């Protein structure tokens, strides 16, 4: 199969930032229809009014169909969340454990304090997206997702059995099993399908491979590839494309995030091709996500073609410059304009 036409995919986890970075990256999500946009700005997008204003800035910058999220804090007003979801301003709420990742300082420390807002979300069907890592400095960075499943997610699920949950950017075989056992949704990034921690650390240190949750060992990458290409409806496409200026990545203390938006769709197609599963790409990229969020799939289509290896630019943008994630092996698929 050298060409593939599928319903237009959506990106269920995207960082677009604000200001000059927003203007650089907003036009670059090649091939995607809608995108669920993360709220970890400075200051974070914590109210329905802030989400509505941010949505307009995104559209003005060149991304036409953003779906908005609210950043959950211990002060979040349940009534504002319910109202913003009911009137279509937001599609979901994002929970960052405080300190887990970029701009997560306003996130959740004391999980008892978010009980009322999560109760309201459960009652009104508002989806919750989770950054699934514990932040205890005593817990090894490679174990933080696994520990989250046991100590945070399992109790949350028990307390709120009707809550609509997306476990974001899963990175381990353990998370794959948990998602299937509990019937929740999960996004998978393309860097976690294409690379493992050796790719990041074994031949020098590659800052553009560094993201959170951090890349894991090969057997986890392979479990994610199996999950994504299995056809299970729990798993869907979320790039977590997270642009940082080149100087913040190529630094003594490197910022977390891989910038994949422009070539992510081609790269997912490459992975599905390598797995002999191109027939499952449409479900993962275009159907399971809308079903999870109770939206219609896109009506239009996109065509992918196999050809010469994609040539990635050294960087996108001028000020700021953003370096794309290069998996280090050929991406032979191209998205028709
Ligand atoms: O690598 C990451 N970058 N992981 C996240 O969870 C946040 C993101 C960012 O905003 O830079
Ligand atoms: Zn993210």
What element of type H or E holds 179?
Answer: helix 173-182
Query: Which atom in ligand 1 lies closest to the alpha carbon of residue 210?
Result: 1
pLDDT of residue 101: 87
**What is residue 231's predicted lDDT score, i.e. its pLDDT?**
98
Local structure of 262: helix, strand or coil: coil
Its pTM surpasses 0.95: yes
Distances (CA, A) of 200 to 191, 203, 205, 255, 312: 11, 8, 6, 14, 18
Looking at 11, 174, 199, 240, which residue is catalytic? 240
Domain ranges of the chain: 11-263
DSSP letter string, 280-333: GHHIIIIIHHHHHTT-PPPSSEEEEEE-SPP---S-B-SSS-BPPP--SS---E
pLDDT at residue 15 in the model: 98
* Nearest atom within ligand 1 for CA of residue 243: 11
Answer yes or no: 240 catalytic.
yes
- What's the Rg (C-alpha) of the chain? 18
Q: Given the structure tokens 């995607």, which residue do they identify?
A: 32
SS3 state at 42: coil
Q: Which of 297, 300, 281 is nearest to 237 (CA)?
A: 281
Residues paired with 316 in a beta bridge: 322
Question: Phi and psi for 213 in degrees, rounded to 5?
Answer: -60, 145
Ligand 1 atom 10: the closest Cα is on which residue? 102
For 55, the token pair is 């949505």
Q: Are 124 and 164 in contact (CB under 8 A)?
A: no
Residue nearest to atom 4 of ligand 1 (CA): 212
Query: How many angstroms separate the alpha carbon of residue 192 from the centre of ligand 2?
Result: 13
Task: Give the right CATH number for 11-263 from 3.50.50.60, 3.20.20.140, 3.40.30.10, 3.20.20.60.
Answer: 3.20.20.140
Which residue is associated with the tokens 């504002």? 80
For the chain, 337 residues long, give each residue's pLDDT as a single digit of tens. 799 999 999 999 999 999 999 999 999 999 999 999 999 999 999 999 999 999 999 999 999 999 999 999 999 999 999 999 999 999 999 999 999 888 999 999 999 999 999 999 999 999 999 999 999 999 999 999 999 999 999 999 999 999 999 999 999 999 999 999 999 999 999 999 999 999 999 999 999 999 999 999 999 999 999 999 999 999 999 999 999 999 999 999 999 999 999 999 999 999 999 999 999 999 999 999 999 999 999 999 999 999 999 999 999 999 999 999 999 999 999 999 8
Q: Partners of 93 in the beta sheet?
A: 70, 128
Question: Residues near ligand 1 with C-beta < 6 Å?
Answer: 15, 40, 101-102, 131, 211-212, 242, 256-257
How far apart CA 224 and CA 61 sit, in angstroms, is 33
Distance CA 200, CA 203 (A): 8
Task: Give every strand in the sheet of 92-95, ordered side by side.
Answer: 11-14, 35-37, 66-71, 92-95, 128-130, 165-167, 185-188, 235-237
Are the C-beta atoms of 161 and 182 separated by less than 8 Å? Answer: no
> Contact at 8 Å (CB) between 26 and 61?
yes
Residues with CB under 5 Å of ion ligand 2 are 240
Strands 3-7 and 301-306 come out as antiparallel
7 pairs with which residues across the strands? 301
**Sign of torsion, CA 95 36 270 179?**
positive
Mark residue 331 as left, alpha or beta (left: phi above 0; alpha: psi -120 to 50; beta: remaining).
Answer: beta
Q: Which residues contact 181 (CB under 8 A, 6 or more apart)?
A: none
Ligand 1: residue of 148, 168, 256, 259 to mutate (most ligand atoms within 8 A of CB) is 256
Output the CA 231–ligand 2 centroid distance in Å: 24
pLDDT in tens, 74-111: 999 999 999 999 999 999 999 999 998 889 999 999 99
- Gap between the Cα atoms of 218 and 239, Å rounded: 19
pLDDT one-digit tens code per residue, 116-140? 999 999 999 999 999 999 999 999 9
Angstrom CA distances, 58 to 64, 219, 286, stand at 8, 38, 22
């Amino acid at each position: 199969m050298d060409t593939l036409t599928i319903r237009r995919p959506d990106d269920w986890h995207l960082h677009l930032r604000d200001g000059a970075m927003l203007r650089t990256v907003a036009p670059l999500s090649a091939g995607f229809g809608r995108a669920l946009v993360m709220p970890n700005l400075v200051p974070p997008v914590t109210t329905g009014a802030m989400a509505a204003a941010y949505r307009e800035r995104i559209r003005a910058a060149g991304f036409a169909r953003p779906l908005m999220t609210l950043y959950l804090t211990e002060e979040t007003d349940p009534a504002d969340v319910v109202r913003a979801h009911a009137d279509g301003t937001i599609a979901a709420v994002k929970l960052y454990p405080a300190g887990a990742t970029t701009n997560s300082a306003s996130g959740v420390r004391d999980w008892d304090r978010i009980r009322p807002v999560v109760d309201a979300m459960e009652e009104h069907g508002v989806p919750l997206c989770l950054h699934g890592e514990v932040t205890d400095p005593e817990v090894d960075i490679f174990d933080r997702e696994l520990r989250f499943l046991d100590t945070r997610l399992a109790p949350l699920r028990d307390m709120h059995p009707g809550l609509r949950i997306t476990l974001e950017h899963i990175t381990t075989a353990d998370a794959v099993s948990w998602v299937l056992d509990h019937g929740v949704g999960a996004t998978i990034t393309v860097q976690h399908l294409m690379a493992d921690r050796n790719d990041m650390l074994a031949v020098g240190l590659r800052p553009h491979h560094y993201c959170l949750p951090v890349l894991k060992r090969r057997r986890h990458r392979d479990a994610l590839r199996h999950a994504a290409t299995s056809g299970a409806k729990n798993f869907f496409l979320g790039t977590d494309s997270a642009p940082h200026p080149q100087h913040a990545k190529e630094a003594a203390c490197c910022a977390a995030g891989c910038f994949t938006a422009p070539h992510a769709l081609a790269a997912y197609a490459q992975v599905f091709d390598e797995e002999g599963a191109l027939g499952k790409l449409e479900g993962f990229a275009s159907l399971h996500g809308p079903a999870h969020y109770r939206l219609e799939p896109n009506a239009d289509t996109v065509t992918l073609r196999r050809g010469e290896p994609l040539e990635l630019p050294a960087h996108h943008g001028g000020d700021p410059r953003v370096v794309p994630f290069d998996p280090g092996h050929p991406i032979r698929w191209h998205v028709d304009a």
